[in-house]
Structure 1
Amino acid sequence: MRIVVYPHDLGLGGSQLNAIELGAAVQALGHEVMLFGQPGPLVRRARELGLEFIQAPVPGKRPSPAVVRSLGRLVRERGVDIIHGYEWPPALECLAASKIAGGSAVATVMSMAVAPFIPYSMPLMVGTEQIRRHEEKAGRGMVRLMEPPVDTAANVPDTGAATDEFRERWGLADAAMHVVCVSRLAHELKLEGILAAMDAVADLSRAGDVRLVVVGSGPAEATVRARAERINAGAGRTVVVLTGEIEDPRPAYGIADVVLGMGGSALRGMAFAKPLVVQGEEGFWELLTPESLPTFLWQGWYGAGPGSSGQGSGALTAILARLLDDQGLRIALGSYGRRLVVERFSLEHSAQRQLDLYTEVTGSPQRPPALAPAEATALARYAAYIARRRWLRLRGRAALDDFNSRPVASSPRPAWNPAEVRP
């Protein structure tokens, strides 16, 4: 098969890194995979993995007619079988390109909720079992689970000299304990937890030598930096270290005593055999243990509201205090996380699952009359979405990240049986 993989952008981030690594893994299974998109830091990673990069036009408003035309030319010229868009703008552009040039359009959404204007007839992969069942119940015809994959060969506990260089670069070459968070500094989904983590580590630093290392950049960076400067000034030493965006964050995971994270970042921390505290919203913090695992296999590496230790920075303080005081517990939970990633979330397993979907889609293409009602409904929903966005923007209330601002995991859900979720 010839496959085009089209992430929503090629800046550093979990969804786009998943797209690239999965594309390379599918190519290793004997298929031709091309990466389509605007240039960004991850182009270098794609080329290292052997993917051909094809530059897209500057999109402007999304979905972009210029992008659709460019994708259509690519499909015709290269005989593309699958056009795979990640997140909703590429998904819609891939679908439109398939209408004018052929090929089968597929979508992956790693956000915490799916845009309702992605047609229910479009084959879809989502990141959690809870979202999969939600979308299936809503009427989607083909929705499959794709938990965030991890390259378990590239992400390993021993990072060697790179870790030593990282320690020297950021003044971490001492006996302090390090709590590490690798995250985009976004207002939606991320900021609340990052600020709570800073407060929790500040509390712990009054009684011991502990630091928080935050790796990443984004629109909330000024807010994060201001809080870090205030904490460091109050402590009279560096308690919070902000590194900004780092193309290869593996050394940061390597120096961690504890990792904080959600989604793909959480899983990559586990690959380094580090104990994981899962970050969410509304004060959610939960330590990964065999007992808490079924919750994460259901709702993903995220949560909302109180965890088993309480809510907010106080809950995180209690979890970190326990971990930092018990080396044996850190080692045991780190080893457990590494085993789990290798057995369930490896890139090889995920690539085969993705290839199975491609085979299913190309083997049973839908006829145009069967697609029309779902696509008409999606168009109406998209028009309503645009109208609502414009109205909220006029009132200064538009969310910065629509579908991460309304996670499925934070909405009421029917009772579920943890035994249904396979550990």
Structure 2
Amino acid sequence: MKILVFPHDLGVGGSQTNAIEIAAGIQRRGHDVVLFGQPGALNKRIAGLGLEFVEAPRPSHRPTPWIVGALIRLVKERGIDILHGYEWPPALECLLAARGSRAVAVSTVMSMAVAPFIPKQMPLLVGTEDILNRERNFGRTRVELMEPPVDLEENNPMVDVGADDFRRRWGLERGSFVVATVTRLAAELKLEGILSAIEAVRRVEPALRIQLVIAGDGPARREVESAASVVNAALGRDAVKLTGQLTDPRPAYASADVVIGMGSSALRAMAFGKPTIVQGERGFWELVTPQTLPLFLRQGWYGVGDEPLSASSSLAGLLTALHADPKRRTALGAFCLKTVSDRFSLCRAAELQEDFYRRALEGQQQKAVLRNDADAARRFIAHQFSQHARRLFGPVARDDFNAMEKLLATPSGHGPTIRGRS
């Protein structure tokens, strides 16, 4: 098969990293794969995996006509069989480009809600069982599960990724208890938890010598830096470290005693055999254990709590308990590694995606997708009108289908599981 993969963005992030790594796995299985998109930090990763990259035109309002035109030319010139868009803007652009051609457009959505204007008949992969069930109830006929995978050859406790050098570079004290998070500093999904984690460091007993490493960058960086400065001044030491964006974040995982994360970042932490605390919103913090694993397998590596005011104290309690029990940390790290090895390997994901592509080609209904889902067009127009109206009154979420209101107002009327900590 000849496959074009179009991530929504090539800045560091989970969905786009998954897109690239699975594409490399598909290529290793003997298929021709090309990556398409706007250049970004992950281009180095694309080149390192031996994938061809074609630069996309700069987007404007999505779907962007000149992006669709570039895709149409690539389909004709290269005989592309599959156009694979990650998240809704590339999905719609791939769908429009496939019109009148032999190519089939498919989509993956790793956001916590699926845009309702992606046509129901379009072949779609989603990241959690809860979202899969919601979308089937919404009427999607060709939706399947693709849990975010981890490349275990490059992410495991036996790989020397320079953890000691990382600790020296960032001034992590000998004997300190290192808590790491690798995350985008964005308002949607992330910021509330990051600020709670910084405050949790202040609340923990100073004798524990906890140091929090925040690896990442984004539009909320100034707010995060300000909060870190306040806590560091209060404690009289560099208890919170911001590294900025790391092209290779593996040393941050490897150097940690405990990792905080959500989505694919949590899974990468688990691949390094680290005790992992899953971050969500509204005070959600939950340790990955044999008892909590079924929850995460169902709803994904994220949650919504019901006690936002106690978020930092809840996390401080978890960190204090883990610090006091090295044997439990070792056991939980081993459990996390086994979980990823058994269920989330990249090889398994590549096999599943290859089969998904073959079935999409065998059941070509692309013309029916565009003809029969006028409802999708109406939903898209309503979405665009809503976004425009909201801009008149203030900023609009950049990751619009990761914003909290989208998570709690999904097409089927059921948001993610809400679970708080006492």
TM-score by length of 1: 0.94
Aligned identity (percent) is 51
Shift of 1:158: 3.6
Q: Do 2:188 and 2:404's aligned partners in 1 also have CA atoms closer than 8 Å?
A: no
Which runs of structure 2 are paired with 1:66-81 in the superposition (5 Å)? 66-81=66-81
Which residue of structure 1 aligns with residue 356 of structure 2? 357
1:182-197 alignment runs, 5 A limit: 182-197=182-197
In structure 1, what is the equivalent of residue 174 of structure 2? 174
Q: Which position in structure 1 is the counterpart of 2:330?
A: 331
Q: How many Å separate the matches in 1 of 2:237 and 2:59?
A: 45
Inter-partner Cα distance in structure 1 for 2:405 and 2:357: 27
When residues 310 and 293 of structure 1 are mapped into structure 2, their CA distance, relative to the original with a 3 A threshold, is farther
Q: Once the 2 structures are TM-superposed, how far is the Cα of residue 22 of structure 1 from its aligned partner?
A: 0.2
Query: Are the counterparts in 1 of residues 262 and 278 from structure 2 also a CA contact under 8 Å?
Result: yes
Match of 1:384 in 2: 382
**C-alpha displacement at 1:96, in angstroms?**
0.6
- Aligned partner of 2:120 in structure 1 is 120
- The match for 2:339 is 340
Residue 145 (structure 2) aligns with? 145
Alignment correspondent of 1:419: none
1 CA distance for matches of 2:281 and 2:415? 20
Distance 1:221 1:367, change over 3 A: closer
Paired with 1:210 and 1:384, the residues of 2 have a C-alpha distance of: 48
Q: List per-residue Cα deviations over 1:173-220 (Å, max 9, x = no partner).
A: 511000000000000100000000111112115232111100000011
Q: 1:113-166: CA deviations, max 9, x gaps?
A: 001111111110011110010001100010011111000110011443611211
The one-letter code of the counterpart of 2:166 is F
Structure 2 partner of 1:421: none
How far apart are residue 407 of structure 1 and its match?
A: 7.0
| Runs of 5+ consecutive residues of structure 2 not aligned to the other structure | 418-422
Q: Deviations over 1:308-333 (max 9, x none)?
A: x9951111111111111110000000
Letter in 1 for 2:211: R
* 8 Å contact kept, 2:98–2:366: no
Q: Distance in 1 between matches of 2:212 and 2:400?
A: 29
Give the Cα separation in 1 of the matches to 2:32 and 2:400. 33
Instruction: Work out the CA distance in 2 between the residues paired with 1:221 and 1:334.
Output: 30
The equivalent position to 1:402 in structure 2, one of 397, 400, 404, is 400
Shift of 1:58: 1.0
**1:319 corresponds to 2:318:** yes
Residue 371 (structure 1) shift? 4.4
Equivalent residue of 2:204, what SS? Answer: helix
Alignment partners' CA distance in 2, 1:13 and 1:161: 19
Residue type at the aligned position of 1:395: F
Which segment is superposed worse, 158-167 or 49-58?
158-167
Aligned residues: 414
Per-residue deviation, 1:394: 0.2
**Structure 1 residues 18-417: aligned runs within 5 Å:** 18-160=18-160, 162-306=162-306, 311-366=310-365, 368-369=367-368, 371-374=370-373, 376-396=374-394, 398-406=396-404, 410=408, 413=414
Q: Secondary structure at the match of 1:171?
A: coil
Query: Residue type matched to 1:194 in 2?
Result: I
CA distance in 1, matches of 2:324, 2:57: 53
Q: 1:58 aligns to what SS in structure 2?
A: coil
Q: 2-side partners of 1:82 and 1:193: how far apart? A: 38
CA distance in 2, matches of 1:320, 1:17: 29
Match in the other structure for 2:420 = none
Q: In structure 1, how many angstroms separate the alpha carbons of the residues matched to 2:159 and 2:165?
A: 10
Cα distance per residue 1:267-295 (max 9 Å; x no partner) = 00000000010000010000110000110
The residue type equivalent to 1:178 in the other structure is: V
Report the secondary structure of 1:3's partner residue: strand
Q: In the TM superposition, what is the alpha-carbon distance from 1:401 to its structure 2 partner?
A: 2.2
Tell me, what secondary structure is at the counterpart of 2:5?
A: strand
Q: Kindly provide the amino acid, as one letter, of the partner of residue 402 in structure 1.
A: D
Letter in 1 for 2:223: T
Structure 1 residues 22 and 231 mapped into 2: Cα distance closer, same or farther (>3 Å)? Answer: same
Partners of 1:5 and 1:415 lie apart in 2 by 28
**Contact 1:193/1:283, CA 8 A, preserved across alignment:** yes
The AA in structure 2 aligned to 1:385 is: H
**Which secondary structure does the structure 2 equivalent of 1:281 belong to?**
coil
> Deviation of residue 409 (structure 1)?
6.2
Tell me, in whole angstroms, the C-alpha distance in 1 between the residues paired with 2:360 and 2:212: 45
SS in 2 for 1:207: helix
Q: Give the alignment's TM-score, normalised by structure 2.
A: 0.94
Q: Distance in 2 between matches of 1:113 and 1:175?
A: 42
8 Å CA contact retained: 1:112, 1:406: no
The letter of the residue matching 2:19 is: A
Shift of 1:59: 1.4
- The Cα of 1:100 is off from its aligned counterpart by 4.2
Q: Distance in 1 between matches of 2:369 and 2:146?
A: 26
> Secondary structure of 1:168's match?
helix
Contact 1:284–1:311 (CA under 8 A) maintained in structure 2? no
Contact 2:299/2:416 (<8 A) preserved: no
